[in-house]
Chain A
Amino acid sequence: MIPIENFLVLSSILFSIGIYGVLARRNAVLIIMSVELMLQAVSINFIAFAVYLYPEQFTGLIFAIFVITIAAAEVGLALGIILRIFRNKGTSNVDEVDMLKW
């Protein structure tokens, strides 16, 4: 059988790739996609812990469901915001949207 560490390492890799994407990418849509990767890593962790360590409880699984739900909401909202910014400023690059400073 597969030990739990395999899944944890996989989710760590996935999360780190997400971090890299969030930090390195300029385009807001690409950043959203990287965030999705990070959320996937979190879901893997939740489910792994649930089925290995606490099978009598469903907390991890149910949290994974909520993560997916919230992620859907977040994507919808974030893309709406990106569209709005694009219409107002003609760009969807986050480093060109820097009015909120001195």
Chain B
Amino acid sequence: MSYEEVIFYFVAAVTVLGALGVVLTRNVVHSALFLILALLAVAGVFILLSAEFLAIVQILIYGGAVTILILFVMMLTRVRDMPQALDGPQRPFAALAAGAFLVLSVLAALSSDWPGETREITVVPFREMGEALFRDWAVPFEVASLVLLVALIGAIVLARGEEGE
């Protein structure tokens, strides 16, 4: 086993552990903390895939902004004070569906005949990717910016509350 594989299995184990923690833990704040763990591990997976830029973005946006936001909302909606169970009544079905999906997905991944090289990573130059993003993908990029803007304005409008509230 090469050291790369060792690192991969370690990172993958952390990712799965974090993810399971997110969906299984009884404490919502722990759940959020497990999410941070999983996201950071995914950033590690990105690095293994030689996409360092995305790993950095992942840590900044997810590890920073998104989880903070989630924790804020948890605080505002007083989730911890709620006495009800965290899981709904259809938990067995959920497990069944997730398991079925997992089997199907893994089967598909292993049985597919992928074109091209599947053993070696070709390192993508960071600079060329930036050029492609701002040249060939300029319009989708701008549209995505617009989506972000609209979503933020919408979120503000929704969260701000009625006049006099």
Contacts and interface: CB of A to CB of B under 8 A. Distances in A.
Interface residues of A, number: 72
Contact of B79 (A61, A92, A95): A92
Given A30-B86, A36-B62, A68-B57, A51 B159 contact: no
B154 to A, nearest CB: 5
Interface in A58-74: 58, 61-62, 64-66, 68-74
A33 B62 CA distance: 11
Contacts of A51: 49-51, 121-124
B79 A10 contact: no
Contacts of A30: 22-23, 28, 31, 86
Contact of B42 (A13, A22, A40): A40
Nearest to B13: A10
A32 B116 contact: no
A33 B35 contact: yes
A29 B28 contact: yes
Contacts of B156: 80
Interface string A1-38: 11111111110111111111111111101101110110
Contacts of B139: none
**Secondary structure type dominating chain B contacts:** helix
Given A6-B12, A24-B91, A17 B20 contact: yes
Contact of B61 (A26, A55, A72): A72
28 contacts: A2-B4, A4-B119, A8-B106, A9-B110, A12-B105, A19-B94, A21-B22, A22-B94, A23-B90, A36-B35, A36-B66, A37-B23, A47-B49, A51-B50, A52-B121, A55-B122, A58-B124, A61-B54, A61-B124, A62-B132, A69-B144, A70-B144, A76-B155, A79-B72, A80-B158, A80-B159, A84-B158, A95-B88
Interface of A: 1-10, 12-27, 29-30, 32-34, 36-37, 40, 43-44, 47-48, 50-55, 58, 61-62, 64-66, 68-77, 79-84, 86-87, 91-93, 95
